[in-house]
Amino acid sequence: MNINITALHFKVDQKLEKFISEKVEKLSQVYDSIIGADVTLKLENTDKPESKTVEIRIKIRGNDALAGKTAKTFEEACDETVAALRRQLKKVKEKERGL
């Protein structure tokens, strides 16, 4: 799976890139026809401590799956986003099987 990680207005360290890649790779266990993934990391300009946003677009046949979450850390936001995508991909898989 091809994973593109883009950070808006800051540099991502390799540790965070590795963490995100491992999480996104695990989605292929749920749905094996994933073509690729685009991950966007943003720092929101707010007074709230929840200022780190992760958006992930999973490229699959037909419609893409998209989710985004904001949290205190990029790791937490990534976990929440991957969980949301896991639910979406399970629904797509069930729909394909006709359940």
Per domain, the residue ranges of the chain are 2-97
Question: What's the rounded mean pLDDT across residues 12-17?
Answer: 93
Q: pLDDT at position 42, please?
A: 94
Name the token pair of 33: 């026809």
Q: How many CA atoms lie within 13 A of 59 on its CB side?
A: 9
Q: Which among 98, 63, 70, 99 is positioned nearest to 84, based on CA atoms?
A: 70
Task: Please state whether the predicted TM-score (pTM) of the whole model is above 0.85.
Answer: yes
Q: pLDDT at position 99, please?
A: 62
Q: pLDDT at position 61, please?
A: 85
Q: pLDDT at position 80, please?
A: 96
What residues contact residue 40 under an 8 Å CB cut-off, 6+ apart?
A: 6, 7, 8, 54, 55, 56, 68
Does residue 15 carry a pLDDT above 80? yes
CB 30 within 8 A of CB 90: yes
Return the CATH number of 2-97, one of 1.10.10.350, 3.30.160.100, 2.30.40.10, 3.40.50.300: 3.30.160.100
